[in-house]
Amino acid sequence: MKTHMFHVLLFFSLAKSAVVPSVPSHLRDCYRSSLADSQAPRRLDVYLSLLRKLELNNQLDMRMFSTALLRSLRLDGIEQSSANAVETEFLLPYRASSFQFHKYKLLMDIFLPSQNLINVDETLPVEEKCLLHEMLSSTVRRWERGDENVVCPVSAQQSQTMVTQSSTRINSRCPIEEGVIQTNWGTVSPGTLVAAIATSLEPQRVSVTDILNANIFKQDIAEPMMSSAKQEWFENIETLPNDQGNRWQSDIPEISNIWVATLAGDLAEVVVNQGPRVGAVAQNMSIGTNSRWNDTLLPRHHYIFPPDGSIIDWHFTDAEMLAGIDGLILAQYVPKWVEQRRTLRLSQVLDMYYSNDGVSFEPTVRACNRRTLFNNLFNSTDLVTEASKFAYVLSLRQITVYMPVQEMERITNAAVTAFDNYLSAFLRQNHNECRVSNSVPVIDLIVATDGSWKGNDVEEFMSWMGGALESSLQRGTMSLLHGNSGQWIAPPSHNLTTVFSHIKNYTDQWPNRLNLPTVMSSVLRHSLNSSLMEIANNASGALSTIVLIISPSDRPSATEMEQARSLMSSLRTTYFDVYFTYVAENLSDFQVISEYMDYSELFLRTPSTRVQNVIDAVDDFLLKNHIPSRLIGPQCPFNNTVFKQVEYEDFVLPNRPMYYRIHPFYLQQQPLIQVQFRNSGQGELLVCMWRGAEASHSCQTIEERGTHAFNLTNPCPSPDFCLPAHFTVAATSSSNTCAHNDCRLPHEVGYYITHTGLRCLPLRALGRILQSELSVIVSALLILKSIIYIL
Ligand SMILES: *[C@@H]1O[C@H](CO)[C@@H](O)[C@H](O)[C@H]1NC(C)=O
Ligand SMILES: *[C@@H]1O[C@H](CO)[C@@H](O)[C@H](O)[C@H]1NC(C)=O
Ligand SMILES: *[C@@H]1O[C@H](CO)[C@@H](O)[C@H](O)[C@H]1NC(C)=O
Ligand SMILES: *[C@@H]1O[C@H](CO)[C@@H](O)[C@H](O)[C@H]1NC(C)=O
Ligand SMILES: *[C@@H]1O[C@H](CO)[C@@H](O)[C@H](O)[C@H]1NC(C)=O
Ligand SMILES: *[C@@H]1O[C@H](CO)[C@@H](O)[C@H](O)[C@H]1NC(C)=O
Ligand SMILES: *[C@@H]1O[C@H](CO)[C@@H](O)[C@H](O)[C@H]1NC(C)=O
Ligand SMILES: *[C@@H]1O[C@H](CO)[C@@H](O)[C@H](O)[C@H]1NC(C)=O
Ligand SMILES: *[C@@H]1O[C@H](CO)[C@@H](O)[C@H](O)[C@H]1NC(C)=O
Ligand SMILES: *[C@@H]1O[C@H](CO)[C@@H](O)[C@H](O)[C@H]1NC(C)=O
């Protein structure tokens, strides 16, 4: 107990300055065995959603935010300290004892002095905090876990060589690399990216002699190492004449923090860790990793397949290399962009760089142009100079044999040669052509599945879907209904972290078949809930709800069909903008559920029950289908209350038009409808209107701060037949000034929509009655039906 107290005190006194290898108190929860890992995909969209939340709750500029982020949530090289260590309330069997720690410590102690200005616990619940910590912190879980026979089964020949290992802890054949996320342009280490951006906003060149003199550096280096270093540095410099005194290739013995944060830092790890073993032989140096995600649709574990199971050779992983390259590219531009727009956020830079559209300030800067951008800036000579100096400093901390400067240069030259040899094939492998991007619908999505998919299939689909909806989830939601019971497995959430947390917590059986009536009843209750909410908020527009029924194999019974048809006709009396999308091998049953075509149904045929087939169908026919948001009429005057609608605010990106629809219900029996768009001043807009499937659109440009009103006189002359009204809003130019919290990206252009003359919806009068009656759903529906007819 006493020794423990001592450690705690020591920790606190050091914490303000130097980075220490023990897990800091705010991250200890992440290493408790009671906390299971987040099941959310390790992917860019999930990472950005976590960053965004932290950014919006800590109004720091990008420079302060990124250093504080590294301080508070990154700690490289954490590993379990021994196989049978016991966890107690006070003791955690984890510490940063692996090689990655040393580089991180030097970076934070010397090259990027910083304070922890973020109180993560105030913003992120433990699961989100730990996921972000894991994504930012490089380490490799190297010990055998027990699932290797499933994940990386051995051939008979390999198993011969495996037996030779005899220690109590066995290396895994496929260790797991942490601190990595998947992007469309390869797997990267976000910690490296953040460090690159942080250093670029605080660029420094630190002289080697200053480092050797710094207490924070010297304090735990063995005396013999330090004195050899002093001898080589200070004594030589004093005794030799000026022009020979410097033994470095470059004139100034200084190290750039941007290089330390990126490629030179990781290359130095190769030099220091492999150099003493293999010498200055490029062919014998191991650069890059043979690694892959075990499931590309649901990237959770990133496995490394080392060529020789007994040697650690992941000193410079593919993900670190790619992030180092992207980091160096971004470091060239970010300071300039921040100069232009002080409010620019880290999440926005990464969001735009890893997109087909590129960064709004300089659209050619994007991951699909990585090869060109990198070839224009990279010079191996610089890498040799920076890496050899940093390797020298790193070696003093990390290894016990003193390596003189010249030796370090020889090995670094070999390592850079190995890097150069690896580079072009590597960049080719991770290359993905720039494409024209399309609009991603902003929707509330409800998914229900039948018995043909097990939990893992559903999770793969939800993971893909969340990625495909991109960050539109910031406004839209995603949810999962149990296809049989109609209960929420995951209620509507704005991000995959929460969706997967609900799925993990869900312990009941997965659906064994689809029960369409229970699903529809839940949709009906949910629609009532959201409509009452919209009325309370005086909404004039809202997202559309998409109910995605994935039933590749199940067929409804005759009774279910009967109930489903009746429920659907009730639903359609009030909830016009709930889209039903059915995915099935045989669609004939689903096609006859609705009595009439209501402009809100989609039927997608899938050739099989395979997840990938369903994904292809949903991608082609739902996502690319421009699902419009809805403009809705007010609540009808009720008990002398008048409902005054509030403006609907929205944002549009250049090349990504937004779509709106007014359902015919709101147009019927109305003499004049006016829909007005008001530009809030971040660019120029083009708004268009048309009816039904008309080819001719009536369009109008709206200048910054301008408005335009569309007038629909007598929009539905015939009582039997009326077409919906459609609108699009496109940004024709952007001033890049969207600084609003709701703006995902700086080049979004904001606008407001208002309308008058829409027919009102008599819902609230029914609301109270319905709320109490809904427990017996089907009977309540009959009540709803009759009331609507009375009104
Ligand atoms: C590389 O290592 C192998 C075995 O470890 C050794 O046989 C070979 O000579 C080394 N190559 C060079 C160029 O030193
Ligand atoms: C991924 O790994 C898990 C175990 O960690 C395994 O259950 C699952 O089947 C694997 N998925 C694929 C596609 O290999
Ligand atoms: C790299 O930079 C060095 C000096 O820093 C210069 O001499 C050399 O020509 C450059 N090489 C390339 C390929 O640009
Ligand atoms: C995810 O969504 C939930 C609810 O939808 C919200 O409480 C949580 O803060 C969100 N987390 C992030 C990281 O955005
Ligand atoms: C899942 O369960 C854990 C532990 O009980 C809880 O902390 C977490 O909030 C739950 N997740 C959701 C989304 O409710
Ligand atoms: C509707 O709202 C009530 C109360 O807010 C909630 O308990 C219920 O779960 C909601 N129902 C659905 C289907 O969302
Ligand atoms: C909606 O309108 C009513 C009546 O005009 C008003 O009392 C109420 O505060 C409004 N609610 C919101 C959220 O704006
Ligand atoms: C689809 O189902 C309908 C009704 O059950 C049936 O008549 C039809 O033959 C089926 N079509 C195919 C291609 O199996
Ligand atoms: C209508 O308003 C009156 C007076 O404000 C109130 O007493 C009555 O309960 C209201 N009726 C309903 C159905 O809300
Ligand atoms: C619509 O009507 C308003 C007046 O009611 C008028 O100011 C406006 O110019 C009209 N818009 C169009 C496109 O005709």
pLDDT(242) > 70: no
Residue 773, pLDDT score: 43
Are 426 and 419 contacting, i.e. CB atoms less than 8 angstroms apart? no
Cα 151 to middle of ligand 2, angstroms: 7
Ligand 10: residue whose CA is nearest its atom 2: 711
> Is-contact 676 755, C-beta < 8 A?
yes
Report the pLDDT averaged over residues 25-34.
Answer: 90
Question: For residue 236, what pLDDT is reported?
Answer: 59
Q: Is ligand 7 within 6 A of the CB of residue 640?
A: no
* Cβ–Cβ under 8 Å, residues 768 and 556: no
Q: What is the rounded average pLDDT for all residues in the chain?
A: 87
Please tell me the distance between residue 378's alpha carbon and the centre of ligand 3 in angstroms: 9
Q: Is 471 in the pocket of ligand 6 (CB under 6 A)?
A: no
* Beta carbon of 3 within 6 Å of any ligand 8 atom: no
**What's the pLDDT score for residue 52?**
94
State the residue for tokens 């955690």.
92
> Is pLDDT of 641 > 90?
no
**Which has the closest alpha carbon to 110: 26, 218, 22?**
218
Residue 749 has pLDDT above 60, yes or no: yes
Q: Which atom of ligand 3 is nearest to the CA of 379?
A: 1
CB 194 within 8 A of CB 320: no
- With H, G, I as helix, E, B as strand and everything else as coil, classify residue 601: strand
Q: Ligand 10 centroid vs 285 CA: distance in angstroms?
A: 73
Residue 711 CA, ligand 10 centroid: distance in Å = 6
In the predicted structure, residue 780 carries a pLDDT above the cut 60? no
**Three-point CA angle 290, 295, 300, nearest 5°:** 85
Please give the Cα distance from 199 to 470 (Å, whole number).
Answer: 29
Ligand 6 atom with the smallest distance to the CA of 492 is 14
Asked if residue 2 has pLDDT above 70, the reply is no
> For tokens 């379990």, what's the residue?
80
pTM of structure? 0.91
- Identify the band that residue 506 occupies on the pLDDT scale cut at 50, 70 and 90: very high
Ligand 1 nearest atom to the CA of residue 279, by list position:
14
Ligand 3: lining residues by beta carbon, under 6 Å = 379, 381-382
- Counting ligands in written order, which one lies closest to the CA of residue 523? 6
Q: Candidates 55, 73, 444, 497: which one to mutate for ligand 4, based on the most atoms within 8 Å of Cβ?
A: 497
pLDDT value for 273: 93
How does pLDDT run across 407-434, given as a tens digit for each residue?
999 999 999 999 999 999 999 999 999 9
Are the beta carbons of 271 and 285 closer than 8 angstroms?
no
Whether the predicted pLDDT of 249 surpasses 50: no
Distance 639 CA to ligand 9 centre (A): 6
| Distances from the Cα of 48 to the Cα of 42, 45, 132, 362, angstroms | 11, 5, 10, 21
Ligand 4 centroid–CA 669 distance in Å is 42
**Per-residue model confidence (pLDDT) at position 104:** 97
Ligand 7 atom nearest to CA at 646: 14
Q: Is 277 in the pocket of ligand 1 (CB under 6 A)?
A: no
Average the pLDDT over each of 84-93, 213-222, 297-306, 574-583 and give the range with the smallest value: 84-93
The yes-or-no verdict on residue 147 having pLDDT over 60 is yes
The amino acid present at 315, given as its one-letter code, is H
CA of 664 to the centre of ligand 10 (A): 21
pLDDT confidence of residue 787: 38
Nearest ligand atom owner, CA of 347: 4
What's the rounded mean pLDDT across residues 749-760?
95
Which residue matches tokens 């024209």? Answer: 436
Q: Which of 379, 380, 385 to mutate to test the pocket of ligand 3 (most atoms within 8 A of CB)?
A: 379
Instruction: Report pLDDT for 772.
Output: 45
What distance in angstroms lies between residue 300's CA and the mean position of ligand 2's atoms?
A: 9
Q: What is the pLDDT of residue 92?
A: 87
